[in-house]
Structures are given as C-alpha cells and as structure tokens.
Structure 1
Amino acid sequence: MVIELSPKPQETMAWEVKARLKREDRDNAVQAWGLNTAGLVQAGRTNVKYLPLESELLTDEQINITETIPSLILRNIAKRTWTAEQVLRAFIARTVIAHELVNPLAEVLFESGLTRARELDEILRATGRVVGPLHGLPISLKDVLHMTGVESTLGYVAWIGQLQPKNDSLVDFLSEAGAVFYCKTNVPQTLMSGECVNFIFGRTSTPWNTSLSAGGSSGGEGALVSLGGSPLGVGTDIAGSIRTPANFNGIYGLCPTTGRLPLHRADRTAGDSLIKGVAGPMSRTLDGLELYTKTILSMEPWMKDHQILRIPWSDSLYHEGLGSKHKLCFGFMAHDNVVLPNPPILRCMQDVRHALVKAGHQVIDIRPFDGVEFLKLALRILHATGGNEVREIIASSGEPLIKEFALPSSDKALTVSEYKECSKELDIIRQKYLDLVLDTARLTKSGKPIDAIILPSGGTVAPPHGTMEYLTYEAISNVLDWTCATIPVGFVNPRLDRKPTQFTPLSDYDLRNFETCENSYALSGHINANDGLDSPERYQDAPVCLQLMGLRHSEEKVLGLLRTIDRALGRTDDYKA
C-alpha cells in the first residue's frame, strides 16, 4: 500500500508528525485484525478488483456473505441463517484486503462494530424480533459524517484529535434502523477535489486500475464498495461527490434532492448555501440504493429533522419508473457544450441507447445544456467565501494544501448583494431547464415530458492520479437540485475506443480533455504492434458509467428507471457491479 505525503523539508514539521501518528494508529488497527495481506499484489499489476476473491484469504462462507445483495443479507440475519457478527466479520475481512489494495479507510471501528453486532444478535435471540429494517447490516460511512466520540478530520491535520460530541442526524436514523458501523472512509483534504488524497491518510485508487483516481470527495467510499468491503456505503454530494467516485469505481450511486434524505444535524450544517450538500447511498447493487432510500423514508425523518420535507416513499412513482404507467421516453444529452466526452463514454452512450430502443422504450435527443453557465454560477457560489475558511484551517496546523485543490483568491469572496444576485441567477436557471424538460412533451409518444435525462458522468473515465479538472457534468444536477444517479454500463475497450481523427474543440477545457485521450484508449499491453495501436496502458480496465437525471424529488422514479435500464441491458435484479 503506497502512502503519499508532501516532499520532506530539512526538518520534519509538527503537522507531519501528527499526521504520521494518526496514520499509524489507523494502520495498526487494520493489522490487528490478523489477516496477512503482505505480498498480495504482484509487481506491475494494476487491476486488483477481483483480488479479494482470488487471494484465498477469505473463507467460502465469507465470500458467500460478501457477494450477497443487501436485502438478502438482511433476510438471512432475520431468519438466523447468519448472525450479525458473522456478517460483519466477513465484511471486515474483505475491508482489510481492500485497504491493502487501494487505501480506502480513514477511521477503523471494527471493535465497536463487533460489540454492536453482538448486541443485535442477543436482541434477536431473546425477542425473536429484529431491531429495525437494517438489523445487522454493515454500513460504511464517508469521513464527513459525524459519530459520537469519533474524529471527522475531513483530511485536515488540524482536526486530528477533535472527537465529535454527537451523531449526525443520518447516523442516528441508520443506527435506529439497526445498521452496524465499522469504518469511515477517506476523503480529499477540503472535500472540494475530484481526487481522494490528503496528508493524513494518503491517496485512494480505483481497484480497476490503481494508477487511476478513485474520485472525490467520496473516493474512499467508492473504492471500498467496489472491492466488496461494504454492502452499502454512504457518501455526500455537492458537486458530484457521490457520482464521480461511483463513476470511477464502477458502482451505483444516488444523489438525492435536498430536503429528501437526512445528513448533518442542525448545528453542523453549512448554513445558508444556495447549493446544498446531500447524503446518498453507494452500492455494487441497485438493491442497495433501493433498500437505503425506502428504509430512511419509512422512518418519517421529517418528524425528527426539521430540514427534511414530508414526502413519504411513493410506490406509484417507483412503478412509473418501471414503465407501468405510460410508455417511457429517455432524453439523451450527448455533451454539455463545453467538453465532448472521450471515446469510451460516447460508445457506451450509444450502447445504452440501442438497448433501450430494443427493449421498446422511446429515446429522443435533447439540446445540450449550457455547461458554461452552470460552471460559472457553481464556482461563484461554492467559492463565495474566497476560500478564507480553508486558509484559517490550514494556518492552524501549518500543513500545506494538496496540489489537487485550487484555492480561490480572497478577492473572489462575494458581498451579500452579490450573493443575492447569485440566488436570482440560480432561480432563473432552474426555471429555464424545467421549462426545457416540460417542452419535450410535444415530442414523446405518451404526450408527457421525458421521464429522465441520460448524460455522461464526466468528460473522461477515471483519469490518472491528480489530473481531473472538469466537474460540470457532475455539478449540473446539484445546481438544478434534481435527483441524479450513476449506473455502470461498460468498460474501456482497446479496439473500439479510438481517438477521433478530426476534432474541433468546444472550449479550452475540451482541448485539454481531448489531449488526455491521445494514445490512451487503444491499449498496448495485449495487442500486437502491427495493429497500429501504440498507446500506453493508461486507462486499462477503467469502468464507464452514465448518469440518469430526473426532476426534483423524483428519487423513487429514478430508482425505477435505473431498474428499467438494467433490465434493458440484460441484467437480473440481483446484478452486482
């Protein structure tokens, strides 16, 4: 496992010592589990996705448990086929392997998780009843989520040692439902980066190719889930922070509308931000996303958390997404007028399109959204303070900033009147694109607006570490505050994903994005030289995911539509990415 830190000065700085000690505590807690992962990866191997199953470190029972979809895990615990402790031990073992492979962990909570699992087993034995709908299910949490007595460093050395006094609202709901927490996962310093790296815990990679990014800011969560170390993880999203890691790690992820599902308790919110962060599920299975959303909404979170709207789960909306109400129509948006996605993404867009048409669904092209206006407004709002709070945090420890985060200039801070103008611009954009979707009713066979928009998850698949730049594809839904999900649909194909012979860039961003695909998707490792494919193995094995975006408060319908797409792709309901 490679841990990257900043270049060493002549004398070790105090912040470096603090970071090293924290990192050693984490690694000692992992090693205390007693699983010998030394020498697990052969030199030169970059695809470690299936190493947990190939390693012979897991028993057949542990493989069976960790390869089971979440809802079936719960049924087996409830029937006492498996104990909660058995299940947790299986996922901990797989997490230990995952940590050796891609470095996804921040906080190790194995022992407290085992205590909780044993308590749940005793309750079920004594009463014959489960505690709640998630009784005994291991759930991993992104480090941004607060737990009583546990640190939430968010990748800042300055916040090492600061124990949280209370649980977040979401953590309380999941605990009440019977979930078992056993780890928190790595994030980029500041959270505002598409690369998961900080000076405490180092860098996280995607298991599909460890030379490529795991994404951010829920990168540790995405990588752990992808390797099967967690059946269901919780990430957060304010500009693609669930969907970028889901994309780069080849899993499912749901970014809900604000006010639908809980996140922080009131005193830990970000205040009156025009673009608000949300929490959502990440899983190898669509079953995990459905289970999480149904469970939380069944608990009537609006009764305990004032931030949550009273919108119960709607079976009717879910079945509408399955196509039982009217003939479905998907709008396809090929690009955002700023960056044309690289070849494998465009190919997979067409593959999904053909599959939906073959399955009997209508597909229409929609006018690309204006990525320029989304990017400009999002950056003004997200940088409204001029980065001053970040400066204060790092100044208190003396640590530098990661190079993957571009700190905005202090003179970019907005006045109150400028911020109010952003609010007005945001309302105008939101109405503009709602009208655009409503106008599609004249083009559909049902006479209703398109059911959702299928669009790229980004301009590129998982890029080499430290190179991600463009985030507008992922930020569109946050600006609009629409429900958006990630669905895995394919992989880079060395024979099909050729660089275009002619290219006129849409923007400077597009030119730089295009340059990343030069000699990158035609891979040399397994191809004869006379094929004319002379590229390095830069993007080998990278997954390709797409986004499915619905209107506000359409979580149930989006989940139903994901199920419809999966079925069109020939997947069974228990399919695992």
Structure 2
Amino acid sequence: MVASWQSTVETSRNALEAKLKATGFAGQVGHIGEDVLNVTSVPFDRVLTAREIEITELGVGQLLAKLSGGELTSEELTRAFLHRAVIAHELTNCLTDIFFDKAIARAQSVDAEYAKTGKPVGALHGLPISLKNQINIEGEEMNLCYVGWTGRISNVDSALVKCLLQQGAVLYSYTNMPQALFSGETICNLHGRTVNPHNRALAVGGSSGGEGALVAMHGSPLGVGSDIGGSVRIPCAFNGLYGLRPSYDRIPYGSSSNSMEGFSIVPSVLGPMSTSLDGVKAFFRAVVDAEPWRYDPLALHMPWSESAYALKEHGDGKELCFGLVRHNGMVKPDVPYVRALEMLKAALLAQGHKVIDYVPPQTAKGADILTRLFQADGGEDLKRECATSGEPRLGGIFKGQAVPPAISTYEFWQLCAERRDYIAMQLASWEATRDQTGTGRPVDALLCPPAPYPSFRHDDKQDIFYTGICNLCDWPAAVFPVTKVDPAVDKPVERTDFLSDFDRLNHERYDATVYKDIPVSMQLIGRKGEDEAVIRMMEIAVAALKSAA
C-alpha cells in the first residue's frame, strides 16, 4: 500500500520531535497558552543560564571578536544557541531539521584548531549559522518542504555551505518555509505554520519565515534565507531584523535546492538575516572573500570592494541624497510606515543628508510582468512536485486566483523583452533625479517600506511588489528596523481615494491594536551591483536613527 501524504507528514514530524527530545531541551519552557501572543517577552531565566542568555543576546560582531580573541569557545556558544533554538521552535514552529551532534563536533574541531595555531579558522570562526531548508549540506535530508521530497539525502555541500565552512562557521539547523517558496507567509503541508514571535496571531513573513522567527527569538545569531520576491526582506521586516537581498550571483546559489529550477530571468538570491546590523556585512564579506566563483560557475568573480563600501561614487558618504518612496503607486502603506518614513527622513536630514520624494514609475506594469513571469509555466512545476505525494497545493501569494495556462516559448521571450525594457525605463527614471538632488548625482538610494502592512492575519491576502520590484530590476536592498506599531499614535486615518482594490482592502483591515508591538522596518535600495554601498548606507541610516532617538 502506498502511504498517504498525511502519514508521511506524521512520520516526518515525529522524527523531528524525537530529535528535539533527544537534545534534553524539549519541554523546558512548559505550557504557554495560545492567548500569549508576544513570546519574545516570555522570561527564559528559569530554563536558560545567565551565561546562555548573555552570550546569545550579543551581536554578531561582538561574538566574532570574543571567538577570535579566545574569550569564548565555539562549543560553549554553539551549545547555548542550540538550547535557544529548541525553545524558539516550541514557541513558533520554526525548525524543520536539526543536526546538533554534527554542529558540536564541528565546534570542537574549530576550537581545537584555534588552540593549536592561536589563529581563527576564518572570518566566521566558530559562529553558529542557521539555514533555510533549501541550502544543501552533504549527508542531511533536503526535503524543500515538499512532502514528496522526504527522505532525500544531499550528496554534496552547496557552494554557500563550502564558503561558510571555509570561513569557520558552525551549521546546525534547517528552518521552515512555505510550499514552493512562493508566499509572504510561512506555511507548508509538511512542517505546518511558523508564527510571528512578536504576535503569534500574525504572519511571520516569508518565504524565509522560519529563519525570521528563529533569529528573532535569539535561536540563531545569523541565518541565511533566499529572496525571489522579498523572501529575506519581508520576514526580516516582520521580525525587526537586519537583512540584505544581494544582487544576482554575488552570493553563490550553486547546489542549493529550489522550486522552479531553470527559472533564471529573475533568479532567487541568498542573503543574511540577523539581529545585529554588523551581521549583514560580516556574512556578505566573509562569503565573497571565500571566492565563491571557485565553487559556483554562475557566481560573479567580483571580490569585496572597499572603495564601494567607502561610497567613493557617492560623495564619500558625506552628503547623500535619498529618494523617499511614500507609496509605490499601487497601494499606500499603513499608518505605522508613514510615521517611520518621517522618523527616518528627519534623522537623515539632521545628519546633513538630503531627502527628496520619489515614486518609481509604472509599478503596476512591473508587478504584472513579474506575476506573468512567475506563472509562465501555468503552475506545472508545483503541480508535478505535489503529485509526487498527493499533497494539496496551497496557493501562496496566488491563493484564490485562477492559474493561467502556460505560455509558449516565443511568448516567454517576448515577456523577457518586456522585462528588459521595463528595467531600462526604471534606470532612466532613477538617472533623471540628477536634476533634483543638488549633489551632481542621481539619488544615492531609495528608502521605502518593505510591505504595505507591518504584518497580516494568518491567510490574509498579500502584496509583494514593494519588495518584488527589486527582484525584477536586480536592485540590492537592505532592510532594518525603525520602530514598532504603537496603537496610541498609529491610529487609522480616513481615506476615500484608493489606488487599487487591494489598497482599499489593506486600508479597511488595518487595526493598530491587532498589530501592536510588531516591528516597523524600512528598505534601503541601491543600484545593481552596489551591494557594498547599500550595506554602508544602511549603516549610515541606522546610525542617524540612533542619534535621533
């Protein structure tokens, strides 16, 4: 008898539960009622030692300094994060697999090498790093959150894993993501739903939502997600994290698993997610310095550029001009974002920078192109993957919509040409801001919300083009927290004019009391290939906010 997909799910979940139980950490928190929505504030001092709490709440830069200076061993640090990872999972359902024994052995090996040589193994020496459930590690199951993929064992390390290991990292877990990776909420048939630790009645974001929850709960100092329409930035935003959607092929994707294999016109990219600002630079530079082009034929031979990071093409960063995107022409952001935009603008102006209003042109056309590209196969890829087990299709960002028929090769070529012409138009529009900046340059970067909402209720309708435009145009984009939803000040405003049906829907469902305590973040968007500059400008924006606080 062929097992039902439900029985496969049960077996898989039981296997993970057994692994978690074997750690000795499972069940320590005890029962936390469903009425407790914000679990980031649950006291952990009765299950974690003071030392565990102290070191797991340090930033990435602080941890790397202590590890490389011999003040902290990788084994101690790794064991502390393993403990918090189990707690995070029990409260948010963020993990899909763990390999703690392998991680501890790796940490001990890194420590032994340090003891022998007195030198760190690499730029990420001894740092525990968690991975989205698509980045292959040799010898570990890679199910891509498909029921039909259970039991598939990776026979090779992905290019990124090779870079991370070369730089001394310790890998210990996989995290949850939505079916086919196509959703701003994290839910799949195999592993269930991951919830937002700031409010478990709300979406954690997606598709890298498992990472978002784990990192937000300090179960990981640095996680790796992927982004094809906002999948790093949305969960970072919903969880108050720092993150980066890099340009195509700066971070190697080779030998990682993915849905829609062969879809390369708008490729998915891998990027960091961290509770600390310096974690973004630490990850990006470490991976690029590992020469990923030696492991992945598509990775750009593009070493770290110190001059780009120093903003040499942007006036040395002394008087930057930012384009402030108050809305994208399709849907206006909720009230907390309006407040956050003004906070960010005031902070930058106070530091001597300039801010002008900017709206990317014809965003509805771009959203249409991106949607038609994503659906060009008529849903064939998802249909085939689900057919391997019989699991139902969930819909994701296209939930409730009829799937259009597949288009012909010729029609796909014409669609690719549309995309080319569209991004050329966006480039011309950006260049035209040179006449408005007063710096002699076009705007150095754009500032805009990462979504029209700070989060949303489970299974609500989604919109991803605040982030998706960056994927379409290959604009590197950072995301960083600005404030939190405050019902006392983020009161709804009356509106009678709407840009779209979704704009009306999003306005009508806004409720600050529902979104209370959810982080409110911003994107900083740069030009293609300007990853180092985007990282530096994010640092400048965050410093400005701190000075204004």
Q: Tell me which interval the TM-score lies in, with the shorter structure as reference length.
A: over 0.9
Equivalence map 1:492-507=2 (5 Å): 492-507=485-500
C-alpha distance in structure 2 between counterparts of 1:380 and 1:404, whole Å: 15
State which of 248, 269, 277 in structure 2 corresponds to 1:286.
277
Aligned to 2:266: 275
Residue type of the alignment partner of 1:542 = I
Match of 1:60 in 2: 50
Alignment of 1:164 onto 2:164: no
Summarize deviations over 1:226-274 as a string: whole Å, max 9, x none: 1111111000000001011111111111000102111223897932521
**Are residues 13 and 466 of structure 1, via their aligned partners in 2, closer, same or farther at CA, if it must alter by over 3 Å?**
farther
CA distance in 2, matches of 1:424, 1:42: 53
State, as a whole percentage, how many aligned pairs show the same letter.
35
> Does 1:476 pair with 2:476?
no
Distance 1:325 1:287, change over 3 A: closer
Residue 372 (structure 1) aligned with residue 368 (structure 2) = no
Instruction: Provide the C-alpha distance between the structure 2 equivalents of 1:240 and 1:29, rounded to a whole number of angstroms.
Output: 32
Equivalent residue, structure 2, for 1:545: 521
CA distance in 1, matches of 2:241, 2:52: 21
Would you say the 8 A contact 1:104–1:221 is kept in 2? yes
Between the aligned partners of 2:403 and 2:204, the Cα distance in structure 1 is 30
Q: SS of 1:324's equivalent?
A: helix
Equivalent residue letter for 1:461:
P
2:438 to 445, 451, 457: 445
Q: Which residue of 2 aligns with 1:528?
A: none
Q: Report if aligned partners of 1:281, 1:292 keep a CA contact under 8 Å in 2.
A: yes
Structure 2 SS opposite 1:375: helix
2:336 corresponds to which of 322, 334, 344: 344
Distance in 2 separating the partners of 1:18 and 1:325: 55
Aligned to 1:363: 355
Report the Cα distance in structure 1 between the residues aligned to 2:148 and 2:452, rounded to whole angstroms.
34
Letter in 1 for 2:102: S
Contact 1:335 1:368 (8 Å CA) reproduced: no
* Partner amino acid, structure 2, of 1:418: E
- State yes or no: 1:247 paired with 2:237: yes
What is the aligned partner in structure 2 of residue 306 from structure 1?
A: 297
Number of the residue aligned with 2:389:
397
- CA pair 39-571 structure 1, distance change in 2 beyond 3 A: farther
Q: Please state if 1:89 is matched with 2:79.
A: yes
Query: Over residues 280-321 of structure 1, what are the superposed CA-to-partner deviations in whole Å (9 max), with x where a residue is unaligned?
Result: 000011100000111111122223322122222122221228
How far does residue 374 in structure 1 lie from its aligned partner after superposition?
Answer: 1.4
2:502 counterpart residue number: 509
- Judge conservation of contact 2:334–2:507 (CA < 8 Å) in 1: yes
SS of corresponding position for 2:538: helix
SS of 2:539 mapped into structure 1: helix
Moved more, 498-507 or 336-345: 498-507
Residue aligned with 1:247, SS: helix
- CA distance, structure 1, for counterparts of residue 73 and residue 459 of structure 2: 42
- Partner SS state of residue 546, structure 1: strand
Give the letter for the 2:463 counterpart.
Answer: Y
Counterpart Cα distance in 2 of 1:131 and 1:102: 33
- Structure 1 residues 55, 102: closer, same or farther in 2, change over 3 A? farther
- Give the 3-state SS of the residue equivalent to 1:49 in structure 2: helix
1:466 aligns to what?
A: 459
Going from structure 1 to structure 2, the CA distance change for 1:22 and 1:561 (only over 3 Å counts) comes to same
Q: Which amino acid aligns with 1:147?
A: I
Hey, which bits of structure 1, 4+ residues long, moved more than 4 A? Answer: 266-269, 407-411
One-letter identity of the residue aligned with 2:393 = L
Q: Distance in 2 between matches of 1:399 and 1:266?
A: 23
1:382 corresponds to 2:374: yes
Q: Distance in 1 between matches of 2:168 and 2:434?
A: 44
* Structure 2 residue 540 is matched with structure 1 residue 567: no
> Is 1:74 paired with 2:64?
yes
The 3-state SS of whatever aligns with 2:70 is coil
Alpha-carbon distance between aligned partners in 1 of 2:288 and 2:351, rounded to the nearest angstrom: 31
Taking structure 2 as the reference length, the TM-score comes to 0.95
Is residue 147 from structure 1 mapped to residue 137 from structure 2 by the alignment? yes
127-136 or 285-294, larger mean C-alpha shift: 127-136
Which residue of the partner structure matches residue 219 of structure 1? Answer: 209
Work out whether residues 140 and 181 of structure 1, in 8 Å CA contact, stay in contact via their aligned partners in 2.
yes
Q: Secondary structure at the match of 2:365?
A: helix
> Post-superposition shift, 1:417?
0.8
User: 2:413 aligned with 1:420, yes or no?
Assistant: yes
Determine whether 1:44 maps to 2:35: yes
2:103 and 2:171 in contact (8 A); partners too:
yes
Per-residue CA deviations over 1:144-171 (Å, capped at 9, x if unaligned) read: 1111121222221111111111111111
The one-letter amino acid paired with 1:188 is: P
Aligned length: 544
Say yes or no: does 1:104 pair with 2:94.
yes
| Counterpart secondary structure, 1:399 | coil
Deviation of residue 38 (structure 1)? 4.4
Q: CA deviation at 1:440?
A: 1.0
Structure 2: gaps spanning 5 or more residues: none
SS of the aligned residue for 2:494 comes to coil
Residue 529 of structure 1: aligned partner = none
TM-superposition CA deviations, 1:91-132 (whole Å, max 9, x none):
011111111111110111111111111111111122222221
Shift of 1:325: 4.6
Question: 2:136, 2:257 within 8 Å by CA — same for their partners in 1?
Answer: no
SS at 1:235 equivalent? strand
1:99-138 equivalence runs, <5 A = 99-138=89-128
- Distance in 2 between residues matched to 1:547 and 1:18, nearest whole Å: 40
Conservation of the 8 A alpha-carbon contact between 1:50 and 1:227: no
What are structure 1's unaligned runs of at least 5 residues? 1-11, 524-537
SS at match of 1:454: strand
Secondary structure of residue in 2 paired with 1:193: coil
Matched residue type, 1:50: S
- Alpha-carbon RMSD: 2.0
Which letter does structure 1 place at the counterpart of 2:471?
Answer: N
2:404 and 2:433 map into 1 onto residues whose CA distance is: 42
Choose 392-401 or 453-462, whichever is displaced more: 392-401
Distance change in 2, residues 1:304/1:165 (3 Å) = closer
Per the alignment, in what secondary structure is the counterpart of residue 11 of structure 2? helix
Checking the alignment, whether the CA contact within 8 Å between 1:40 and 1:55 is kept in structure 2 is: no
Deviation at 1:71, TM superposition (A): 2.4
Partners of 2:256 and 2:18 lie apart in 1 by: 34
Q: Distance in 2 between matches of 1:479 and 1:403?
A: 21
Residues 456 and 405 of structure 1: CA distance in aligned 2, closer, same or farther (over 3 Å): closer
The residue identity in structure 1 corresponding to 2:165 is S
- Cα deviation per residue 1:362-390 (whole Å; 9 max; x = unaligned)? 00011343221111100111111111121
Deviation digits for residues 48-68 of structure 1, max 9, x if unmatched?
1132x5442111111121111
Counterpart CA distance in 1 for 2:493 and 2:263 is 45
- Are the equivalent residues in 2 in contact too, given 1:326–1:446 (CA < 8 A)? no
- Which amino acid in the other structure matches residue 244 of structure 2? L
**Pair 1:500–1:555, CA change in 2 (3 A):** same
Q: Following TM superposition, by how much is the alpha carbon of 1:43 offset from its aligned partner in structure 2, in angstroms?
A: 5.2
Match of 1:526 in 2: none
Q: 1:316 aligns with which of 275, 289, 307?
A: 307
Q: Tell me the TM-score normalized by structure 1.
A: 0.91
- SS state of the match for residue 470, structure 2? helix
Q: Secondary structure at the match of 2:546?
A: coil
